[in-house]
Chain A
């Protein structure tokens, strides 16, 4: 398990926007058109490489349903990054972003990096939220923005890696007190020398590349 850093992510957003599918696409590189409703939270992990350093991503996929909100709030504080997802074909999921963001600001630590993702961009013909609106919202609230598709895998890899490199940059800039694990970042056992051999279990997915 050698990694230079370990980042914890959470994925949040309304139910049915494709949070679990984004995670599955990222960790297993596959798309599952019919996905069971997430109960509570689910977990996924993958190794990526940024700046030639192996970085482990621990990703917690939360349930979007209102009834799980109190449970999922427990995951905010310990996360270094959050993917806030809406569905470009369902306007109301975009309209709810503000309340999600408020939740995040309230329970997460202030340095959490938030990536706004407009999912299902393969369904352009049913689009209900324009790219510009998404960009505008992100700009107003200081988020990174991308439109992606868990189905076609478009921008999925990029979204996760972009978030990671932003966090990485913050570390380099000394924003984080890395000794405090509660901000979702950890120094790895493997230290800095980079990837060292394939001791990484059976499910090691190999790294993407930094964009």
Chain B
């Protein structure tokens, strides 16, 4: 293995560098040689003793032993069982080699020889097997050292040892047998088993199979129960390890042993006024066992819920409540952590368990004449304890009692009856005969100075549980009228108003000594708790909203609180939620108090953007983000137990902390409430958007009303229309003003420098949105510019066209004039033509005839001339021919025939 090589490398390096190291090395080597090869028993024993002291004294010795010693020592353990002294020595040597030396001077990152040696020894399963077999040895010291050795191995290499022990048949059986051994061995084995069972589930089961429960309870009994010492604590730690992650083991405990023995540890015995630290730790450990049973195993377990339910049922059947009330309420000497854990356990036992709820409701405490309901006792503690942690535990109990328990709520609310004045101012000691409700009212109303305001806020927290989600109870509490502290100060006032008054009082007290943070941190939870009460009260309860708004200053105060920069993020956020409830659960129609008026008031006084910002801020605060369904408790071990028992009060510790993370606030902002507020916020946003997007119902425009009714005379009709118009006028004015505030709001958010703070907090998404809007705006204005230019162009074009059109028109006019004159001319001419036609035709005919005659005469003359010319030609030619002797006459006749014959030929051709 490389580890061995590395180890030897380290050893070599160390020894190479240090003279002392190498001397240790050779010394150890010599001793080992004497042990393995010595002949004299005495000498070997002496060598073993020397080796033991080297190994327990120096790191170098441990290292040298690790490099060479194991085979020698292991062979002693294997082969020399009979030599008890050698075996003891070998075991002691091993224990020494595995125990880290605290006074090591080497640097932290240097190899720890003890860890190395553990690793080397636990690598071989056979070695573990060998050690387990030594547990059966007769000799007490052999068993004792072996257990120590195993514990050392387990501390240094737990995984390895767990696996080895699991793989060895009857390995655990051997260890379990040690629990029945002598006290020293038993205690050692107990520790070993406690380590061994912290994580390994299979080991837990085998240990249980081997009868661990019986053994644990018998040891606890032997040791005196909760009065016992640290062994009892170890037993309980082992028990808790076995139960923590195993529903199966829980079932086994319940089914075979039952819870009786467990509960008997819770029972206070002996000197009940003495609570040593050990007793406190023992009790806290049993309470943790209780808590593990109530949780019913790991969350991944399928049968967890059924198991949890059965455990709760059986525990309460076994009267666990008696013991828990003894520890949490009745014992005056129980330390605060025990009291708180007991109250917490009661709260867990009753949560979502109808039968146990009933059991608690009917539970009575005290001796016969002074018997009082247990819930009253818890309430008294809640109101009067000086420990904030105790208040929170008691508050947790009431919260669980009221959760999904409307009957229980109604029962508590039914006792909310005001006692006569004399009783209100009665000292607390006389409150034994008071009902739950009277005590609560007493607590609610006795506060004017700071101390009592705290009492008041505690009572307010309880009241908020009583009315949560229960409208019947809300209405009932709404009816409560308180008499004024002094009769002269006016009539009775509703409880709700008194609560608002205290809310205001708390802030005025703070502002008075505002700068001193210590005094405010004490009271930092007063306002949130009262606000939580009001939020729960107003939720889904229009009458409570009405009652709240009945007094005008309430709204004004709330608006101021929302935007008050001196309060905490959480108070502003809660106030914003409360304000939102005044909108969404508002059924009022009265002007100034209806939902619309509230919305207007918000947008005018706070501004919608900054209003919603309050929600965001609260959501982002650590209180909201850290709200968890439940805080898993740390297992109580030897190391954590002492600190747990010492915590006296969380409140004192954290006074230096930031106000925001006050533990009280964390308990106020539990996850159901956080979820509830997130849902409310969504509703509020929706409702406000709705308010802006739809007109008021009172001025709906109904067209039918605009018509004149059949029987109505004109005067009435006009009057009616007039009022209608007036109404609309108002409406328009309203809308305008709202519009203006919105615009202002928008401008504020959009402006670069108007409110840097708001801009800083406003989320990135807002900014992005703003940016896109700005870009849109730019684009739009650009487009408008473009459109303007286009329009100008169009206009100029239009004017040109207009001119053109004018010109054309005038042209058209002159044209039509011309046409008219032409037509006239035409007409005249036609007339002339008509007149002329009748006289001149005969003369024209004559003229034409004469002309035609003249023309034909001239043509005839021409023809005659031509004829004459031709005749002379013929004569001339005839004479010539006669000269030539030709019969001219005959020729002439032939010419005439030829012409005729030609004509005949032509005719023939033509035919």
Contacts and interface: CB of A to CB of B under 8 A. Distances in A.
B169 A45 contact: no
B317 to A, nearest CB: 8
B258 A1 contact: yes
B310 A74 contact: no
Contact of A181 (B211, B258, B314): B211
A46 to B, nearest CB: 9
A74 B166 CA distance: 8
Given A8-B209, A41-B209, A74 B172 contact: yes
A1 B166 contact: no
Interface in B289-347: 310, 313-314
Interface in A154-187: 181-182
A37 to B, nearest CB: 14
B201 A202 contact: no
Interface stretch (B248-256, B548-556, B861-869): B248-256
A60 B252 CA distance: 11
A74 B173 contact: yes
B206 A1 contact: no
Contact of B251 (A1, A43, A70, A78): A43
A127 interface: no
A208 interface: no
A40 interface: yes
B210 interface: yes
- The range of chain B's interface size is 20 to 34
Contact of B169 (A42, A43, A74, A202): A74
Contacts of A45: 251-252, 255-256
B816 interface: no
Interface residues of A, number: 27
Interface in B481-536: none
Given A71-B202, A74-B169, A43 B258 contact: no
A202 B248 CA distance: 15
Contacts of A96: none
Contacts of B170: 73-74, 77, 107
A77 B172 CA distance: 11
A70 B201 CA distance: 15
A151 interface: no
Given A43-B205, A58-B252, A201-B254, A74 B314 contact: no
A31 to B, nearest CB: 17
A182 B209 CA distance: 11
A76 interface: yes
B166 to A, nearest CB: 6
A203 interface: yes
Contacts of B895: none
B206 A71 contact: yes
B252 to A, nearest CB: 5
A1 B211 contact: no
Nearest to A205: B255
A86 B256 CA distance: 29
B169 A76 contact: yes
Contacts of B205: 40-41, 43
A26 interface: no
Interface string B153-187: 00000000000001111111100010000000000
Contact of A74 (B171, B177, B249, B256): B171
Contacts of B313: 202
A30 to B, nearest CB: 13
Nearest to A199: B258
A58 B167 contact: no
A68 B314 CA distance: 34
Contacts of B173: 74, 77-78, 182
B310 A71 contact: no
Given A45-B255, A202-B310, A78 B211 contact: yes
Contacts of A106: 169
A43 B252 contact: yes
B256 A56 contact: yes
B392 to A, nearest CB: 32
B321 to A, nearest CB: 17
A60 B206 CA distance: 10
25 contacts: A1-B257, A1-B260, A41-B202, A41-B206, A41-B209, A42-B248, A43-B252, A45-B251, A45-B255, A70-B166, A70-B167, A70-B169, A71-B206, A74-B170, A74-B172, A74-B173, A74-B209, A77-B169, A77-B170, A78-B211, A106-B169, A107-B169, A199-B258, A201-B258, A203-B255
Given A201-B258, A202-B310, 11 more contacts: A41-B206, A43-B252, A70-B166, A74-B169, A74-B170, A76-B169, A77-B173, A78-B173, A78-B211, A107-B170, A201-B310
Interface of B: 166-173, 177, 201-202, 205-206, 208-211, 248-249, 251-252, 254-258, 260, 310, 313-314
